[in-house]
Amino acid sequence: EAKQQGRNTWHWYQGDVQRVTRESVLLRQELHAALSHDQFELFYQPIVEAVSGRIRGLEALIRWRHPEKGLVSPITFIPLAEQTGQIIPIGRWVLRRACQDAAALYAAGERGVPVAVNISSLQFRRDGFLEDVQQVLADTGLPPALLEFEITESVLLDGADQAIELINQLKNIGIQVALDDFGTGFSSLSYLRDLPIHKVKLDRAFIKDILTNRCNAAIVQGIITMAHHMELVVIAEGIEEREQQEDLVRRECDLLQGFLFAKPMPLKDLLSLPDFLPHP
């Protein structure tokens, strides 16, 4: 009986794998079409000063407007695009669109807000990335100080020296770099020391239960204190409650991002926010 059950389980499992594979083959084909049919959009989520809640930056977040499925989350297609290499053309599109939008915001206001763009490790480590960036800046006229990149520690997997050199080159042209999702995966505290980054983003996993989980609160406090000693700016992600904001203000976190302040939204909605354009 156990054997039969085992076999059933195996059959079921195999069927599941086939289904998943078929779905991802389809998704892969659709992803290819998505670029040429202009189905991607960028949403923007404000990043605010912790104490005042004033907008200090924006994070660009990709969305896929699928003809049947509606708005598709990047969580479902970015990992696949990274596996297939499609992240390269998609990432180029994101970079260009974000710079165009940021340049338009800059032109509309007296001073701009920096726009942060997520860069996959594959894209970051690829030859020609720096040249691509310089080309997009030249084409859009965006001041480099208004562009930021968010990278994750996986950029280090294929050699830390190259990543460090690239971050320094970006820094030299005026683009700042943040270490995203810090504290998850294989984050090591020494990355904060070794990478010439200027910001660290604490992952939502630590923020979610910061009011009730003493260990997570201790980790957050430790990272904030240490980062400040290294002259890094600290952003906390996923703030949903006022009490979380108050707690993070007490812990001297610099910047916050989360649904409490604003959800990611299309560019045109941003322009009608009362707090936009930003305060001096």
Q: Which residues bind ligand C2E (CB under 6 A)?
A: 45, 61-62, 73-75, 78, 91, 94, 118, 120, 150, 180-181, 204, 237-240, 257-259, 264
Tell whether the torsion through CA atoms of 72, 121, 84 and 9 is positive or negative: negative
- Say whether residue 148 binds Mg ion (CB under 5 A): no
The three-class DSSP label of residue 212 is: coil
- Say whether residue 150 binds Mg ion (CB under 5 A): yes
User: Does the N-terminal peptide bond of residue 95 adopt cis geometry, omega within 30 degrees of 0?
Assistant: no
8-state DSSP, 265: B
Residue with smallest beta-carbon separation from ligand C2E: 258
Residue in 118, 176, 244, 245 binding Mg ion, rule: CB under 5 A: 118
Tell whether the torsion through CA atoms of 79, 81, 34 and 89 is positive or negative: positive
Cα 46 to the center of its chain, rounded Å: 12
How near is the Cβ of 63 to ligand C2E at its closest, in Å?
Answer: 7
For 46, the enclosing helix (H) or strand (E) is strand 40-49
Q: Which residue has the tokens 């480590």?
A: 125
Q: Which is nearer to Mg ion, 30 or 216 (CB)?
A: 216
How near is the Cβ of 12 to ligand C2E at its closest, in Å?
Answer: 30
Residue in 180, 183, 200, 267 binding Mg ion, rule: CB under 5 A: 180
Please enumerate in sequence order all residues whose Cβ is within 8 A of that of 224, keeping only pairs 6 or more positions apart, or say none.
Answer: 202, 234, 251, 252, 253
How many residues does the structure list for the chain? Answer: 280
Q: Which is nearer to ligand C2E, 30 or 150 (CB)?
A: 150
Kindly indicate which of the ranges 64-72, 111-119, 166-174, 245-253 contains the residues binding Mg ion, using the contact rule CB under 5 A: 111-119
Q: Which does 62 bind (CB under 5 to 8 A by kind): ligand C2E, Mg ion, none?
A: ligand C2E
Whether 126 contacts 88, CB under 8 Å: yes
Q: Which is nearer to ligand C2E, 22 or 163 (CB)?
A: 163
How near is the Cβ of 180 to ligand C2E at its closest, in Å?
Answer: 5
Please enumerate in sequence order all residues whose Cβ is within 8 A of that of 275, keeping only pairs 6 or more positions apart, or say none.
Answer: 46, 53, 54, 55
How near is the Cβ of 234 to Mg ion at its closest, in Å?
Answer: 13
Q: Which is nearer to ligand C2E, 148 or 180 (CB)?
A: 180
Whether 119 contacts 148, CB under 8 Å: no
Closest CA to 197 of 147, 149, 161, 251: 149
How near is the Cβ of 202 to Mg ion at its closest, in Å?
Answer: 9
131: left (phi over 0), alpha (psi -120 to 50) or beta: alpha
- Say whether residue 247 binds Mg ion (CB under 5 A): no
Residue in 181, 216, 223, 255 binding Mg ion, rule: CB under 5 A: 181
Kindly indicate which of the ranges 71-79, 133-141, 180-188, 250-258 contains the residues binding Mg ion, using the contact rule CB under 5 A: 180-188
Q: Which is nearer to ligand C2E, 12 or 55 (CB)?
A: 55
Interface residues with Mg ion (CB under 5 A) are 118, 150, 180-181
